[in-house]
Chains A and B, each alone.
Chain A
Amino acid sequence: MYLSEEFRLKVGLAEMLKGGVIMDVTNAEQARIAEQAGASAVMALERVPSDIRKEGGVARMANIRIMRDIMKTVSIPVMAKARIGHFTEALILQEMGADYIDESEVLTPADEEHHIDKKTYKVPFVCGARNLGEALRRIAEGAAMIRTKGEAGSGNIVEAVRHIRTIVKEMRHLTILGKEELVHEAKNLGAPLELVEWVAANGKLPVPNFSAGGIATPADVALVMQLGAEAVFVGSGIFKSEDPEARAKAVVKAATYYKDPIKLLEACEDLGEPMRGLDVSNLPEAELMQTRGW
């Protein structure tokens, strides 16, 4: 399944985004700031997650006029979010020329049982996951990139850490199992055996594995990357901070030098205040975004 020409092109763009920062933007001016700072792509959406959280209401795909403005303004890839299961939002975004679609739990789900059948699209998809089973189900549906969900708009890294650690640990576990044990494990994970066997043989996902949800500082970026993320999405963390330009530049630097404490210290100088952030453990279950989708 994941070796067709079309799928290789989808994964290919994800490969090109490795080691970089994909930044949430809500207008062309923010997109310009992100590109100037060194973002490897931007994610267009109507409101950043922390505003969605604050203001409530239904969060949908971004306004097409604003998306076109953004696409005209920057030369880096422009991604866009579609609601979980909302396959016509995805069709419209594909038609418009989005470079990647994020079927995202940050928006209000359109379907509580079904995700989009992503194999039928020419545009690549990224999907969120909290554990290996969820990641492999999305890949089976055609996702060409996985990002751990974390808790979007929280400015709190704890959930992103939980999810990347969980996936890495579950993958490691598969590598020591025998063939007949993998069948049982596929059942437990609720994932296709073919993909479970691939992970067991290779010790990693068959598509790039990025991290998202709660990343607010250069140190957060370096943390999830040291734990195994290959690139990061930063949402509210940049444009809800005191000095977005400086912070955007700092997180870009941190994604490159995530193993170098001297460079990380440099990235942390003169940053201004980060976004305020939320204690996720105090959030009521209904306000969690990560539990959307399965």
Chain B
Amino acid sequence: MKTVGILALQGDFEAHAKAIEKAGGRAIEVRTREEMSRCDGLILPGGESSTMLKLLEYENLLDPLRAFGERKPIYGTCAGAILLAKEVTHPAQLSLGLMDIDVERNGYGRQIDSRIAKLDLNGDGTFEAVFIRAPIIRRVGGDVRVLAKYNGDPVWAEQGRHMVTTFHPELSDDGRVHRRFLEKL
């Protein structure tokens, strides 16, 4: 069984751990470099990207995380997608640059603009997407594959071993996103 580390600095890491276990993986919480080294893949959960970034800096985890991403798959949801991006705006913020996407923070607005939407998965049925103060992917590089869109913007995308969603499948009952990530390991 594959071991998926959930970056547990802040955010909804517990919900991701449950979703991974349900999808057939083994989940462990990751707060240190040693814990990271035990994982086949890593999930950067939802939460506040600026908080996670600070903690990554305080603990000198930015370089180890980037190095991890150069060898193994990382899946980022919402705040995690912001961390994986090449460029972050609104406001500008440091990021890992592991995926060739540009992301605008809080793209839809404030909490009052949070929403649940049905995504069309191109012949693969629909997916309930929970957007919470979600970012918007404003640009995707040439070899980024867009798996779902909402209002014309990519909301689920992958590039090589890495994957992002701007919504929160860990807050829905549908395990397809987490299963897809497990298949990448």
Q: Which residues of A pack against B, CB within 8 Å?
A: 5, 8-9, 12-13, 15-20, 35-41, 75-77, 94, 97, 99-100, 122-124, 249, 252-253, 255-257, 260
Contacts and interface: CB of A to CB of B under 8 A. Distances in A.
Interface core residue of A16, A249, A257 (most chain B CB under 10 Å): A16
Nearest to B91: A75
A39 B10 CA distance: 10
B63 to A, nearest CB: 19
Interface residues of B, number: 35
B51 A40 contact: yes
A20 B130 CA distance: 21
Contact of B11 (A18, A35, A100, A124): A18
A35 B10 contact: no
Interface of B: 8-15, 31, 46-48, 50-51, 54-55, 58, 78-79, 90-91, 105-106, 109-112, 114-116, 130, 132-133, 168, 171
Contacts of A249: 54, 58
A268 to B, nearest CB: 14
A56 B139 CA distance: 53
A169 to B, nearest CB: 22
A99 B47 contact: no
Given A8-B130, A18-B47, A40 B10 contact: yes
A17 B46 CA distance: 9
B114 A12 contact: yes
A260 B55 CA distance: 15
Given A8-B130, A16-B78, 11 more contacts: A8-B171, A15-B11, A16-B47, A16-B48, A18-B10, A38-B55, A40-B48, A77-B111, A122-B112, A123-B111, A256-B31
Contacts of A76: 48, 50-51
Identify the interface centre among B15, B48, B55, B130: most chain A CB within 10 Å of its CB: B48
A45 B12 CA distance: 27
25 contacts: A8-B130, A9-B130, A12-B168, A13-B111, A13-B132, A15-B12, A16-B78, A17-B47, A18-B47, A19-B10, A20-B48, A35-B50, A37-B54, A38-B55, A40-B10, A40-B51, A75-B90, A75-B91, A76-B50, A76-B51, A99-B110, A122-B112, A124-B111, A252-B54, A256-B9
B110 A97 contact: yes
A260 B51 contact: no
Contact of B15 (A15, A20, A77): A15
Contacts of B78: 16
A96 B1 CA distance: 49
Contacts of B109: 97
Nearest to B54: A38
Given A13-B132, A99-B133, A256-B9, A75 B47 contact: no
B111 A256 contact: no
Contacts of B8: 19, 256
Contacts of B130: 8-9, 12
Contact of A75 (B9, B50, B116): B50
Contacts of B31: 256-257, 260
Given A39-B51, A41-B48, A124-B111, A19 B11 contact: yes
Nearest to B46: A16
Contacts of A19: 8-11, 13, 47
Contact of A256 (B10, B12, B106, B168): B10
A2 B79 CA distance: 25
Nearest to B9: A256
Nearest to A19: B10
A281 B49 CA distance: 40
Contacts of A17: 47-48
B14 to A, nearest CB: 7
Quick one: which of A75, A100, A260 has the most chain B CB within 10 A? Answer: A75
Contact of A12 (B9, B10, B55, B171): B171
Contacts of A38: 10, 50-51, 54-55, 58
Nearest to B113: A97
A18 B111 CA distance: 16
A9 B116 contact: yes
Contacts of B58: 38, 249, 253
Given A16-B11, A40-B47, A252 B133 contact: no
B50 to A, nearest CB: 6
Contacts of A5: 116
B55 A75 contact: no
